[in-house]
Amino acid sequence: MSRLTLQKSFFDRLWPLILSDNVCDTYSKNKCKFYDPDQRFDDVWVHGYLAGRGFKNYQPPTVIRCCFDENERKLSLCEIRDEKSEEWGKSDVDIKASIEESQHSENASEEFDTVKGPHYLTLDEQINAANNSFDTRRKLAHAFINRQYPWYMQQPTYETPFQLTDTMRQMFTSRLEKAVLQDMHTFNCKLVLIDLVKQICLHELRDWLNFTRYAFVIVVARSEDAVKQIKLMGPNLSAAMVLENMEYTWHDQLSESLRVGLVHASNIGVFENCTRSFIFVFARRRNSCKLNMHRVLRKNT
């Protein structure tokens, strides 16, 4: 590899010609410029901020309101400066002064609190606070130990207590339904058994579905098709089937329906506490076409 040595004449004569023929821009130009918005801002607070910072074509916005001139006794237009624009239009010196003033007021309040001293509770107040916290923890522990449902299962809506109101009574039209509602509230019944004979149609149960908000309803039907349809009518509702035996008296048939309903309630877990009262709705006679009787019962242990 040969080495080429450039003489001084090359830089004096040929190199300036090469630089003059070069099309590249070897000189950098300062193209920076200050921000000048091309479009006007419609927001009032931005308009006031730019006006306070000295941008051209921007003035502090004004609010024109209709005022009553007491001297001339007539309405006139008056200009009121916008508070936000005045805040944005403040100079840096004013902002610093306001910050220092706020810090000074905070320091003064802290000094006042230290002079005033901490607030000590009296012995009675400390005892009451300890008793309240102890009672709260005791109630929570008692509710957790005696819980009926595990922590991952939500309590059913019908388990919550309710108060009788006028709007609630208006939901029930017949005299029997109102009497059942009253006994349900008086004896705290959370289970309703309905004996549905063949002569009663399923659309008669539509009015009894209102009780599912306050208790679990079990319908004792006479056919499998009726049981399937009743289970699809809504939540907090179930059905069981009992066979109709014409050799039984009506009292024996009602006792059989009652037994089947309680067994079904125990199997699905809605009647675990046998000491609780429940309501049994039935027809007065075997060939009756409507439900017209109810009793508040409690199972003997």
pLDDT tens for each residue of 149-168: 666 666 777 877 888 888 88
Q: pLDDT per residue over 16-46, tens digit each? A: 777 776 656 555 555 656 555 566 556 667 7
Q: Which DSSP letter does residue 301 get?
A: -
- Assess contact for 281 and 194: CB atoms under 8 A: yes
Average confidence score pLDDT of the chain:
76
* Torsion angle of C-alpha atoms 173, 177, 178, 184, degrees rounded to 10: -150
Please say whether the beta carbons of 82 and 62 come within 8 A: yes
Mean pLDDT throughout 55-81? 64
Measure the CA–CA gap between 220 and 242, rounded to whole angstroms.
Answer: 7
Q: What residue ranges in the chain does DSSP mark as E strands?
A: 62-69, 74-81, 191-195, 216-221, 237-241, 277-282, 293-298
Q: What is the DSSP string of 157-224?
A: GGGS-----HHHHHT--SHHHHHHHHHHHHTT--EEEEE--TTS-GGGGGGGGGGGGTSEEEEEESSH
Q: What are phi and psi of 291, to 5 degrees?
A: -85, 125
Going by DSSP bridges, is the β-strand pair 237-241/277-282 parallel, antiparallel, or unpaired? unpaired
Q: What percent of the chain has pLDDT over 90?
A: 24
Report the alpha-carbon distance of residue 178 to residue 149 in Å, rounded: 30
- Give whole-number Cα distances, 254 to 176, 183, 189, 221, 231, in Å: 19, 20, 20, 12, 21
Closest by Cα among 143, 284, 283, 269 to 216 = 269
For the residues 97-105, what does the mean pLDDT come to?
59
Domains of the chain, CATH where assigned: 32-114 (no CATH), 161-298 (3.40.1380.20)
DSSP conformation class of 14 = I
Residue whose structure tokens are 């590899």: 1
Structure-model confidence comparison of residues 4 and 28, the more confident one? 4
Looking at residues 132-144, what average pLDDT do you find? 80
| Residue 258 vs residue 47, higher pLDDT | 258
pTM of the predicted structure, to 2 decimals: 0.51
As a whole number, mean pLDDT of residues 260-286 equals: 88
pLDDT digits (tens, 9 = 90+) for 176-211: 999 999 999 999 899 999 999 887 778 878 888 889
Contact 260, 193 (CB under 8 A): no
What is the distance, to the nearest Å, from the Cα of residue 180 to the centroid of all Cα atoms in its chain? 34
